[in-house]
Amino acid sequence: MRHALAGRGALVTGGSSGIGRAIACSFAEHGAEVVAAARGAQEPAGGVRPLRADLARPGGCADAVARAAQELGSLDILVAAAGAMLIDDVADASAADWQTMTAVNLTAATECVRAALPHLVEVSEGSRGCADIVVVGSISGRRPSPGRAMYAATKAGLRAFTDSLRQELAPTSVRVCLVEPGLTATSLRAANPPDKLRRMTARTPELHAVTPLSPWDVARAVTWLVSQPAGLSVSEMTLLPTSQGA
């Protein structure tokens, strides 16, 4: 039986952990050739090729895309999943934390897309008939909460970016999807000091009873959407734990 993604080359950023790691592994299980880009070291995984890359430095995104495309031979899918969440009230937040989130969540995602576009357009004009850009946002881009103002702003920026990009690419066969997960069990929040994390978490008691998604829940959804026939584009996908509500 032929796998749904057989013969397709994919670059997944944020591929060392969490949602990015799960997507990379899921793609590989479904037959894709996968390069997972991350700043740190990666645990070995079947079918996933690690790529050391610092996407926040100038030129880092273009370099990562070029190396991934060379290794894969062709680039059919880009998943921009790298992210940072450094929480604090606006009055107390540090400029460095805001710069980090802007660089990782917004600038790196958009720069990776821009670098990958020539490869994706070329592939979409071939026999496969399509190529895919998947940007991993967050439900915070729609529903900001206290302590996450800049994080939410960067994720809302991805919504505006993908909306515009989708219109620009309409004459092509490059599909653009924004995936917005709700509460998900990843290590993203672990970058925050424990005392600050406890203080900020106490301000969103409605989330305490929520059973979070797993990264694999998101990965299965992303694998499904890039497996659709060339004539079908999934433009947006919101994924929420059932207990998080509408």
Let me know if residue 117 belongs to a domain: yes
Active site residues: 151
Let me know if residue 3 belongs to a domain: no
**Number of domains composing the chain:** 1
Let me know if residue 2 belongs to a domain: no
Decide which of 135 and 195 is more confident: 135
With beta carbons less than 8 A apart as the criterion, state whether 128 and 230 touch: yes
Let me know if residue 45 belongs to a domain: yes
Range of the domain at 127: 9-240
CATH at 25: 3.40.50.720
What's the pTM?
0.94
With beta carbons less than 8 A apart as the criterion, state whether 78 and 115 touch: no
Confidence class of residue 1 from pLDDT cuts 50, 70 and 90? very low
Let me know if residue 183 belongs to a domain: yes
**CA-based nearest residue to 102, from 84, 76, 124:** 84
Let me know if residue 246 belongs to a domain: no
Q: Check residue 246 and give its pLDDT.
A: 58
